[in-house]
Every structure is written in structure tokens, then in C-alpha cells.
């Protein structure tokens, strides 16, 4: 298995490619600059803070949350490492849904205690899609790197026998 630092290096190298592609798409007027920034910002957030390894309390990703890392303890209790948390489809969705539930709970707590409705946000597909992809793609890269590493190790073991 690649270490947390190796995963970060892989995702950072791929981020450079995504940034280049984003610039090309903006220059071709295929996406708005705001969409490129939303995607790249979400990608970086996910790269550092939404790793599939949040189900390990001793992982780099878990530690990066600092004093807020406790919010991931229930997630780590629910999901066993390298099972659903590392599923290509359900893993990222579980973390995105988990963080969305926490944000919504915070919003409801704010509303209940202050009575202030706060600003109204209009979320469109032009906002949701780049954020979702930015959160999702680094997780896929992480899982892919784990699977390639595992396959290579198994292949080496078979050749030794």
C-alpha cells in the first residue's frame, strides 16, 4: 500500500494535469473560470482532508483535521478500513454525504439557536458538479493507487513461489 505521503504526491502530480486541462477548458470558453476554481479548490480540499484513509485514526488525513479530527471518529467506527471506504463509488459518496450531514446539522443548530435564517444560497449544477467532481476524483485516484500497489505485491509474491 502506498503511504499517505505517496498518495499525496500522486494526487498532487495529477492535480497539475487537472489544472492544465482546466486552463484549456476556460481558454476555450467551455467552462467558466469560477467552475475551474471550484473544481481545483475542491480537489485540493479532498486531497488533503477527504482521503479514504479517514477510517484510520492514525492516518495522515485524520491528523490533518487537527482539533476537528474527532468529527471523523464515528465514520471510522462505522467503516472498516479498505472495505466500503475504499469502494470506488460508495467510498467517496459516503464521505461526501457524511460531511454534508455535519454541515447541515451545523446549519440547523445555528438556525435553532439564533433564529437568523442567514444568507440564502442558490446552488446550480454549474456549482454542484465541479465541487462534486473535485471531491470525488482524488478519492478514485487513491483507491486506484492502492489497487495497483496490491496487484503488484501479489504478482511479486506469486513469482517468488
Q: From first to last of its 161 residues, what are the pLDDT tens digits of the chain?
A: 667 788 899 999 999 999 999 999 999 999 999 999 999 999 999 999 999 888 887 888 899 999 999 999 999 888 877 778 888 899 999 999 999 999 899 988 988 898 887 777 778 999 999 999 999 999 999 889 888 888 777 777 766 65
3-class secondary structure for 103-135?
HHHHHHHHHHHHCCCCCCCCCCHHHHHHHHHHH
Domain residues of the chain, as ranges? 4-160
* Cell reading at 10: 500522486
For the chain, where are the alpha helices, taking DSSP H only? 4-27, 33-49, 60-64, 73-78, 90-114, 125-160
**pLDDT score, position 9:** 92
Amino acid at each position: 500500500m502506498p503511504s499517505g505521503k505517496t498518495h499525496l504526491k500522486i494526487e498532487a502530480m495529477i492535480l497539475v494535469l487537472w489544472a492544465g486541462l482546466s486552463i484549456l477548458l476556460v481558454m476555450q470558453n467551455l467552462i467558466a473560470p469560477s467552475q475551474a476554481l471550484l473544481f481545483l479548490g475542491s480537489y485540493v480540499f479532498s486531497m488533503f482532508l477527504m482521503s479514504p484513509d479517514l477510517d484510520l485514526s492514525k492516518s495522515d488525513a485524520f491528523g490533518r483535521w487537527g482539533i476537528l479530527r474527532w468529527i471523523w471518529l464515528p465514520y471510522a467506527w462505522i467503516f472498516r478500513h479498505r472495505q466500503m471506504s475504499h469502494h470506488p463509488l460508495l467510498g467517496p459518496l459516503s464521505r461526501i454525504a457524511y460531511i454534508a450531514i455535519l454541515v447541515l446539522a451545523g446549519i440547523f443548530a445555528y438556525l435553532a439557536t439564533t433564529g437568523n435564517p442567514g444568507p440564502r444560497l442558490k446552488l446550480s449544477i454549474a456549482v454542484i458538479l465541479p465541487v462534486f467532481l473535485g471531491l470525488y476524483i482524488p478519492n478514485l485516484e487513491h483507491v486506484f493507487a492502492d489497487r495497483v500497489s496490491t496487484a503488484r505485491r501479489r504478482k511479486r509474491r506469486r513469482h517468488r513461489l
